[in-house]
Structure 1
């Protein structure tokens, strides 16, 4: 289960300064929950897939997920990078570079990330991907597994991020990738449009929500929830439910046994403050569940900070599947 790789000592990025969070992420260990381990994986799959798309990488090529920026790298040798997600006003040496683009880096160049004004997660992809130890067929790091010494060690100042031999894109590769990107224009601003105002979280209702009257359902969906300061990669905690429906919710039948939980589940603990489960969620839970937020909206939710507002809107499983399929097809 714990796969080791042969490290290349010639190709790496060195972390020379770090104030924010940084971890290696891919699409996660999707078949591990029955073993009691979180699926983990990249928080914002849209930004992650976009970065690999820019470089012509495999969709699951591991990247660095940088939370709130404030990190600096030094390149040991030439490499080709792409940066997506929250705009950290990145510099290569003294030259500002643009987000959502690929860039060439030379040996001994310094790549410096500032703190983003909006958003949380920024993605640094390298041509060919990152080389690191796997755990359960994934390179993704989670806080729990880092504490248990599973997978690659946590990234700190002085860490060397190992790259593959293909880290520098050839002229032919760049021409091929530019041709693909020219033919398939993607517009990130459309995907993240207005999420900093009020993000509408479309969700698939569960019996707890369906047990409310239509008036109470409308009241819950019209309510503006505020993201709490104790939100993280495990779950986004929200402000309290509307007072007028708390009594009804309290009196509805609740589960008596714990059961498996899913990405996006809207749990309702006894304090009536909903929790939307995210990538590092636990594997089982006993809280009642209002529904499950569709995945394409979760990739936007993970970019919001405490104080941002969200609303809920019920939808169907078929719609959720169509939205996710359409997102993935953009990067095929």
Structure 2
């Protein structure tokens, strides 16, 4: 038993942190677009942070639970409901067997994460359960979910059982689901914005660009186009140009690299970015702001703010410090039950 896919949604895939250590062979890292939301969803149900979960893009699926299960939703608000009753993000929820989880119109963000106690059970490929669609690798047969698919759950841990016990104490027989009476403090959760300012460092080819372009990248706003996906976000704004025509051999790129093709509109590489690229790199968005970037909807605008390497490292440290605080808060709450 597990869950049955009644409707697949726009793009529903199994994701974890991704595949590391294989880029020299041309294998992309991939993984969740918003890794902070994935981590929090997993912590809320008692999983390891890197457990396989479902990533739901924009238009979520319809899923029927064939057994009682503890779940948590995090990331974008896709107007989730169980048997027609709204459920909230960022908290554990006990769902009874036979209940149907559906999604409606996105309120904010692009990517939501559905974690289940024990994780989504799929084989690991090169150390990861993440789905990489272009290679047909990982997840469920290397593809997005389809109607009538069945997914199974992994074995539950003692922490999973603590979450279940806490929810059973609140559960009522006549209800199809029970939300936890507790949830993380707002300061421990990501802050998404429709038109964010993203902190970035100058890229390795930054000096190749004209003086005007080096000013524009920090001053102008760029609009996210509909031609955006897990591989890259295309943005439009003031065109950027090199000081003089130069050729660049393919060189290393990663999630958050801002490349500039000849037409002058930047492309921001995302979770499924290739391992090397041949366009000049004008900037690199810092790791701490990648979740915020992932949740910008098409039509939203972004602006870049220059920071130093030291500032980027500090932001990452603060983000990880917050995650540790959240993990400890959940641990303390469960041990009070």
What corresponds to 1:48 in structure 2? 38
Conserved 8 A contact 1:42-1:65: yes
Conserved 8 A contact 2:128-2:138: no
What corresponds to 2:191 in structure 1? 192
**Match among 258, 281, 290 for residue 282 of structure 2:** 290
Distance 1:128 1:14 in 2: 17
Distance 1:169 1:207 in 2: 45
What corresponds to 1:32 in structure 2? 22
Match of 2:49, SS state, is coil
What corresponds to 1:164 in structure 2? 154
Distance 1:324 1:98 in 2: 28
Distance 2:165 2:259 in 1: 46
**Structure 1: 4+ residue segments shifted above 6 A:** 181-184
Range 63-72 or range 165-174, more displaced: 165-174
Q: Decide whether aligned partners of structure 1 residues 45 and 93 sit closer, same or farther in structure 2, where only a CA change above 3 A counts.
A: same
What corresponds to 1:201 in structure 2? 198
Structure 1 residues not aligned, in runs of 5+: 1-9
Residues 91-148 of structure 1 show CA distances to partners (whole Å, capped at 9, x for unaligned) of 11132211111100111111112231321111100112111021110000021122xx
Q: Decide whether aligned partners of structure 1 residues 274 and 188 sit closer, same or farther in structure 2, where only a CA change above 3 A counts.
A: farther
Distance 2:72 2:100 in 1: 15
Structure 2 residues not aligned, in runs of 5+: 170-179, 325-337
Conserved 8 A contact 2:71-2:114: yes
Range 320-329 or range 26-35, more displaced: 320-329
Match of 1:202, SS state, is strand
Question: Is 1:62 paired with 2:61?
Answer: no
Q: Decide whether aligned partners of structure 1 residues 257 and 143 sit closer, same or farther in structure 2, where only a CA change above 3 A counts.
A: same
**Match among 248, 265, 268 for residue 276 of structure 1:** 268
Residues 242-261 of structure 1 show CA distances to partners (whole Å, capped at 9, x for unaligned) of 4xxx4xx3224745311121
Cα deviation, residue 43, structure 1 = 0.4
Match of 1:320, SS state, is helix
What corresponds to 1:3 in structure 2? none
Q: Decide whether aligned partners of structure 1 residues 186 and 304 sit closer, same or farther in structure 2, where only a CA change above 3 A counts.
A: same
Cα deviation, residue 183, structure 1 = 10
Conserved 8 A contact 1:241-1:274: no
Instruction: Give the 5 Å matches for 1:252-331.
Output: 252=244, 254-331=246-323
Q: What TM-score comes out, normalization by structure 1 length? A: 0.85
Cα deviation, residue 213, structure 1 = 7.4
Distance 1:107 1:24 in 2: 22
Conserved 8 A contact 1:134-1:152: no
Question: Is 1:231 paired with 2:221?
Answer: no
Distance 2:189 2:71 in 1: 23
Distance 1:202 1:311 in 2: 9
Cα deviation, residue 319, structure 1 = 1.6
What corresponds to 2:119 in structure 1? 129
**Match among 88, 109, 114 for residue 104 of structure 2:** 114
Range 68-77 or range 208-217, more displaced: 208-217
Distance 1:183 1:106 in 2: 19
Distance 1:325 1:300 in 2: 16
Distance 2:209 2:276 in 1: 25
Q: What TM-score comes out, normalization by structure 2 length? A: 0.84
> How many residue pairs end up in the alignment?
310
What corresponds to 1:104 in structure 2? 94
